Amino acid sequence: MSYLISADRLSLAKQESYRAGADRMAKERLAKKLAIPLASAMDPVNPAVICRDADYPTDFVPAATRAGLVGWLSMPLAAVAGVYSLFADNVPAALTPIVPNNQAWTFYGVQIFLNDLAVESVTQITFGVGTAANRRAQFDLETLYGGLTGVAYFSQPVYYDPQETATVNLRARVATAVGCRLALLTFIAEPIQQTVI
């Protein structure tokens, strides 16, 4: 079941619990895919797999079209009820990133920047997988707009394994002709001290 839980309604301990669950899911899925022993992947002293926050331009946008991008920005919202990719480059052109061979991605929450011009411009976020964009999860974003922070956790993390295609789309409530500043809370798991392949 996919739904948002506002950070305003969660204790700090519960928020940490959601992050820890996403961290564990990412590490376990990558360890399984790369045949790394789970005990080694989860070792608290010398882990074989680490998790880190995503860097939007570096992790999701090809090097050839990322110049000038410094953070999350969707495709421009051109029409009411239109569906637009959350992943876009600086052209802007929609992207459907593919998880590298040695990574697993776990999206565990969302943040809408409440001081942004595009606030309250999107109603829904949908996560699809594969070239057919089969639905993996869907969340109603309008529940965020009455909160104090614009931050919410997913009822359960949304994962992408190595070589899966990630399609993340937003539904526009208003036509702003600009992109929405919406960030996904994301952990990227990868073997320690290895480069992306």
Amino acid (1-letter code) at residue 5: I
Whether residue 197 lies inside any domain: the answer is no
Tokens representing 6?
């506002």
At residue 113 the predicted structure's pLDDT band, cuts being 50, 70 and 90, is confident
Q: Strands across the sheet with 122-129, in order?
A: 83-85, 166-172, 122-129, 134-140
User: Tens digit of pLDDT for each residue in 145-157?
Assistant: 877 788 999 999 9
181: containing domain? 4-191
The total number of structural domains in the chain stands at 1
User: Tens digit of pLDDT for each residue in 77-105?
Assistant: 999 999 999 999 988 899 999 999 999 99
Contact at 8 Å (CB) between 137 and 154? yes
Whether residue 111 lies inside any domain: the answer is yes
Tell the residue number behind the tokens 């869907």, with chain if given: 138
Q: Is the pLDDT of residue 117 over 70?
A: no
Whether residue 196 lies inside any domain: the answer is no
**What is the separation, in whole angstroms, between the first and last Cα of the chain?**
33
Whether residue 13 lies inside any domain: the answer is yes
Tokens representing 52?
């880190």
Whether residue 137 lies inside any domain: the answer is yes
From the number of C-beta atoms within 10 Å of its C-beta (0-12, 13-18, 19+), residue 66 rates as middle
Q: Is the pLDDT of residue 176 over 90?
A: no
Whether residue 142 lies inside any domain: the answer is yes
The neighbour count for residue 12, using CB atoms within 10 Å, is 8
pTM for this structure? 0.92
Contact at 8 Å (CB) between 174 and 180? no
C-alpha closest to that of 170 among 81, 109, 85, 79: 85
Tokens representing 32?
């399984």
Q: Is the pLDDT of residue 194 over 60?
A: no
At residue 56 the predicted structure's pLDDT band, cuts being 50, 70 and 90, is very high
